[in-house]
Amino acid sequence: TTRPTPFSRLPDYDGSLIAPAPITSALALTGMTLVSWLYLQPASLHASVPMLHDGCMTLLFGSSALLKAIFYLAWLCHVAEACFAISILASHKGWLRPSTGLVWFSVVTLFGFPALKGLLREHKAAQPPKMPSKAH
């Protein structure tokens, strides 16, 4: 059995946004913001918070190529998760509407898996129960 969350609309879930967990969402958004700022505007980060800039570059061994790879990989993963969220919404009748699709895509792109987790829980709960296999 699946436990409904406080944000759940089970059994009548309609594809509306489910609020992601605050701590993991804040970590995901902070990480994406920091990586993006460090890659896109390194001089402004160094001027604003030099210790943060230097610390991050030390963790990356001073490699701008590694930073570039992390930046593109992080955004690619978040966009792929957002596309997966849209495919989940599309697999259920009445879940994918213009009002839900754009919101889910945006939120999952920004927050990643913490936002997708609630939708996955609703998707699993909406699946018909599997019949147990008979032992021979």
pLDDT, tens digit (0-9, with 9 covering 90-100), for 19-77: 777 888 889 889 999 999 999 998 998 899 889 888 888 888 788 899 999 999 999 99
Q: Is the C-alpha dihedral spanning 111, 109, 88, 11 positive or negative? A: positive
Among the listed residues 69, 101, 103, the one whose alpha carbon sits nearest the alpha carbon of residue 87: 101
Residue 1 has pLDDT above 70, yes or no: no
pLDDT at 62: 81
Among the listed residues 27, 32, 52, the one whose alpha carbon sits nearest the alpha carbon of residue 42: 52
Q: What distance in Å separates the CA atoms of residue 35 and residue 31, rounded to the nearest whole number?
A: 6
User: Phi, psi at residue 91, to the nearest 5°?
Assistant: -80, -5
At 127 the three-state DSSP class reads coil
Write down the mean pLDDT value for the chain. Answer: 82
pTM of the model: 0.74
At 7 the three-state DSSP class reads coil
For residue 78 the two structure tokens come to: 């978040």
